[in-house]
Structure 1
């Protein structure tokens, strides 16, 4: 039976959540919209296609959504060289593959950012996805489903596509409530990490089976993760 670990990237493997918060704050200010930093941070982990409306409302999305996203990208790019991998990121991925687990990265970030993170993490030859691969990002399950299709055969049956494979099981690991929610929508268990600034209780409330303080603690328990069977698509 094949077990797959679907790993989030931002806030899970690389320490970017607060860089993203600052970049979004500056982006909103560029269109004369002021939002509190805590509200932006609470939205980090969902895709930029959803974040503007979630943080500032539908009117701001309608009037300035694309402009804000472009400004966010510009401001985040200015900080990209400051980004560091979280302690234990490389060790976690290598330990998982050494155990015979399949690892795939599912990121709501842009492709060029994920490519930069891969250089920092040095995860070896593993599959990965980015926001550029889907139309609907987290907390929608699309990124997880695309990631699973990269490592196992699948067939699409309209809305609600699921990657399939005989004896195929998976678990989602992430730092935000949006990761946990996306996993639940994909019908999979999730594991939470405190590395992105979300609290243990709220991660559990959104569906996490367990929460770990850091990557090395998680690495020690990789063999005991609650893998769930990947559902067959609806006929």
Structure 2
């Protein structure tokens, strides 16, 4: 029976969460709307289809949602060259493949962003999703379900992420979730959201690959 790792990307394999928060802050300011960066950070991990209403309300989503998402992309694009992989990202993926895990990346990022991150972690051949693949992003379970279908994951699987939104999406998909502190959420928050284990860094998680909870 094949074990499958469903890996989140932003905040889990690449260090992007705070860049995203700043890009969203700048996007909102283009419309004279100020959303505190701490509040934006708390929403990172949601897809852009959910984030605007979550941090600014339904009225702002209705009036400016699509334009805000375009403004976010314009603000984030120049930061792409600054993005670095998190320590241990390549080692985790390589170790999982060597131990005969299936590995699939469940990202709600833009396709060209995901492709860039795959190059950064030297994992260009890994199956992945993007925002283009689903109607609803996290915390909806759609991305995880699409990712699992793409690798024909009929065996056991575990989701690995960095946010409470990853935890909720995994729960709704019926899969266990293991979390990392690399996204800025606390261990208590991640466990309350459903994480069965929380790791400080990817190398520590890699050492426990064969002991991860699978369903």
Same fold, judged at TM 0.5 (above): yes
Tell me the SS of whatever aligns to 2:116.
helix
* Between structures 1 and 2, the one with greater helix share: 2
Q: Distance in 1 between matches of 2:75 and 2:174?
A: 35
C-alpha change, 1:124 and 1:94, in structure 2 (3 Å) is farther
Aligned pairs, number: 215
Q: Which residue of 2 aligns with 1:16?
A: 16
Q: Which residue of 2 aligns with 1:47?
A: 47
Q: Separation in 2 of the partners of 1:125 and 1:209?
A: 29
Instruction: Quote the Cα distance in structure 1 between the aligned partners of 2:142 and 2:166.
Output: 11
Structure 2 counterpart SS, 1:114: helix
2: CA distance between counterparts of 1:185 and 1:148? Answer: 14
Match of 1:198 in 2: 185
* TM-score, scaled relative to structure 1: 0.90
Contact 2:52–2:60 (Cα < 8 Å) also in 1: yes
The 1-side partners of 2:125 and 2:116 are apart by 15
Query: Secondary structure of the equivalent of 2:64?
Result: helix
Partner Cα separation in structure 2 for residue 61 and residue 94 of structure 1: 41
Partner of 1:159: none
Q: Equivalent of 2:201, from 214, 218, 230?
A: 214
State the Cα RMSD in Å.
0.8
The runs of 4+ residues in structure 1 deviating greater than 2 Å are: none
Provide the rounded CA distance (Å) in 1 between the counterparts of 2:146 and 2:202.
24
Deviation (angstroms), 1:125: 2.3
TM-score by length of 2: 0.99
